[in-house]
Amino acid sequence: MKPRVLVVDDDPQFRELLRGWLEAHAIEVHEAGGAQEALARVEATPPDLLCLDLMLPELGGFEVCERIRRIPSLARLPILVVSARDLPADRALAEELGASAYLIKPVAAAAFLEQVRALLAHRAATRAL
């Protein structure tokens, strides 16, 4: 079965870019353009990995991260933040709220896919325990 990634970003062109990279590596991709849609999708059908922008309409990505971590069944869901916010304080807060990794836009395909593969591998290993 293909791993499933939910890409959450309000920029449809960026979502399409990530979709192309992921699908080229046999990863099933779902998309959400905002925080509320993302939370609903994650709760209804948890993905294997959440790729999350921080600057979203409605709620920000920090709030999404925090809400997901409060749901016991999603406590181990890997969250890869991909954001234009590049301050050390942003990275620290994301980590504090439960982000698994943090990449800064613009992101190279190789760096993105390397991080995705690592997080999915870790997820698979922890599920096997």
CATH code, domain with 66: 3.40.50.2300
pLDDT tens for each residue of 2-58: 999 999 999 999 999 999 999 999 999 999 999 999 999 999 999 999 999 999 988
How many domains is the chain built from?
1
> Which pLDDT value is given to residue 37?
96
Calculate what percentage of the chain has a pLDDT beyond 70.
Answer: 98
Res 12: pLDDT: 98
Residues of the domain holding 50: 4-128
Q: Helices marked H in the chain — which ranges? A: 12-23, 35-44, 61-69, 88-96, 109-128
In the chain the first and final C-alpha atoms are separated, in Å, by 19
| Confidence band for 1, pLDDT divided at 50, 70 and 90 | confident
The residue-averaged pLDDT of 112-123 equals 97
